[in-house]
Amino acid sequence: MPVAERQESGKPVRRTARGEATRARIVQAAVDLMRVRGVAATTLDDVRAASGTSKSQLYHHFTDKDCLVQEVIAHQARDVLEREEQQLRQLNSIRGLERWRDAILQRSAIHDGAYGCQLGSLASELSDHNELARTALAQHFETWLGLIAAGLERMRSSGKLRPDAEPERLATGLMGALEGGYLLAQTQHDTRPMRISLDMAIDYIRSFHV
């Protein structure tokens, strides 16, 4: 069955199942290459070769590299936020925060801390010279922060955190510890610095525990 989407002009475009599969293959190749090499070092020719597509197929789906980068951001955001939503949607305890921490550390340890955060790495590379990318990434981080803050609010509402705890402020501090931890783990290829930074942030949240 054809799949409908909208071009920048606003006119709907129809894609067949085969076209959808080709597009998905291009995006996945771009995600994999940009994750390892970085955005700047990944060319459209690299993506074309890795995805096994022709130049005409590639340009049929993506008019230029910026369009493909936007789709990579969207793909990575879906991957991160769907996973985080599953982890955080029922967060209501310090133990829940510790389980969330452990899951993040386990994923990062697969590559000994290499490659950093899926969204953070893109933000570091793109935010200062690609305003469209920066805006999209800022929105995704805001959603991520909101998931954490909502869990902390549930803890406060249920009496597990003191009334003076500020969920949004605590969530921002925890996110800062997470992203800083990703960076240290990436540079050292060791997740121990990430564990320390997350433990300290969770310990601060624990200081509001009732």
Dihedrals phi, psi of 16, to nearest 5 degrees: -75, 170
Domain CATH for 195: 1.10.357.10
Which of residues 63, 82, 115 is at a domain's end? 63
Domain that holds residue 59: 1-63
Considering the domain architecture, whether residues 48 and 147 belong to the same structural domain is answered as no
The secondary structure of residue 161, as a DSSP letter, is B
Considering the domain architecture, whether residues 59 and 75 belong to the same structural domain is answered as no
* Angle at CA of residue 173, ends 70 and 208, nearest 5°: 145
Considering the domain architecture, whether residues 46 and 130 belong to the same structural domain is answered as no
- Predicted pLDDT at 17: 87
Quick one: average pLDDT of 70-88? 97
Note the pLDDT tens digit of each residue in 112-139.
999 999 999 999 999 999 999 999 999 9
Q: What is the pTM of this model?
A: 0.89
Pairing relation of β-strands 3-6 and 12-15? antiparallel
Considering the domain architecture, whether residues 55 and 72 belong to the same structural domain is answered as no
Q: Alpha helices, DSSP H only, in 110-188?
A: 118-126, 131-157, 167-188
Note the pLDDT tens digit of each residue in 148-170.
999 999 999 999 999 999 999 99
* Torsion (CA) 105, 111, 112, 118 in degrees, nearest 10: -60
Average model confidence (pLDDT) for the chain?
93
Which residue bears the tokens 């950093």?
116
Note the pLDDT tens digit of each residue in 97-106.
999 999 999 9
Tokens read off for 155: 């803890």
Considering the domain architecture, whether residues 59 and 154 belong to the same structural domain is answered as no
CA–CA separation, 109 vs 210, rounded Å? 33
Domain CATH for 54: 1.10.10.60
Note the pLDDT tens digit of each residue in 52-69.
999 999 999 999 999 999
